[in-house]
Amino acid sequence: HQEEGEEKEEPGPENAFEKSPFHLTAEDVYDMSYVVGRELLTIRSEPSRTAQLQFKIVRILEMLEALVNESNLTVEELKMERDNLKKEVEGLRKECPAGK
């Protein structure tokens, strides 16, 4: 009952689709979720089949969210690990400046 009409797309949420998958954050997944949800609402011909599709998409996005969160966490961990190792190397170099 609340047709908003297809006005200009919000520059915000739509942007998530343009991103590289490897730069995706959970926030982007939420934006995608909103955009897809809004578009699903405009399909009215077969409500029950649309609804089934809707909840499958919810599941896919839930999975995507989990993957994005997990991979961001892993990247963070690896970066910290790398930085620690770098520091260690620098420390060792300073201790024996001869290098060998």
Partner 1 sequence: VNIPRKEKDFQGMLEYKKDDEPKLVKNLILDLKPRGVAVNLIPGLPAYILFMCVRHADYLNDDQKVRSLLTSTINGIKKVLKKRGDDFETVSFWLSNTCRFLHCLKQYSGEEGFMKHNTPRQNEHCLTNFDLAEYRQVLSDLAIQIYQQLVRVLENILQPMIVSGMLEHETIQGVSGVKPTGLRKRTSSIADEGTYTLDSIIRQLNAFHSVMCQHGMDPELIKQVVKQMFYIVGAVTLNNLLLRKDMCSWSKGMQIRYNVSQLEEWLRDKNLMNSGAKETLEPLIQAAQLLQVKKKTDEDAEAICSMCNALTTAQIVKVLNLYTPVNEFEERVLVSFIRTIQMRLRDRKDSPQLLMDAKHIFPVTFPFNPSSLALETIQIPASLGLAFISRV
Please report, as ranges, the residues that interact with partner 1 according to CB under 8 A.
Answer: 1-2, 4-5, 7-8, 10, 12-13, 27, 29-31, 33-34, 36-37, 40, 44, 47-49, 51-52, 54-55, 57-59, 61-62, 64-65
Q: CB-wise, 9 or 83, nearer to partner 1?
A: 9
Q: How far is the CB of 69 from partner 1 (least distance, A)?
A: 11
Q: CB-wise, 10 or 76, nearer to partner 1?
A: 10
Give start and end residues of each alpha helix (H) in 1-100: 11-14, 26-41, 47-95
Contact 65, 29 (CB under 8 A): yes
Q: CB-wise, 5 or 99, nearer to partner 1?
A: 5
> Which is nearest to 29 in space by CA: 60, 75, 71, 50?
60
Q: How far is the CB of 13 from partner 1 (least distance, A)?
A: 7
What whole-number distance in Å separates Cα of residue 30 and Cα of residue 62? Answer: 9
What whole-number distance in Å separates Cα of residue 50 and Cα of residue 43? Answer: 7
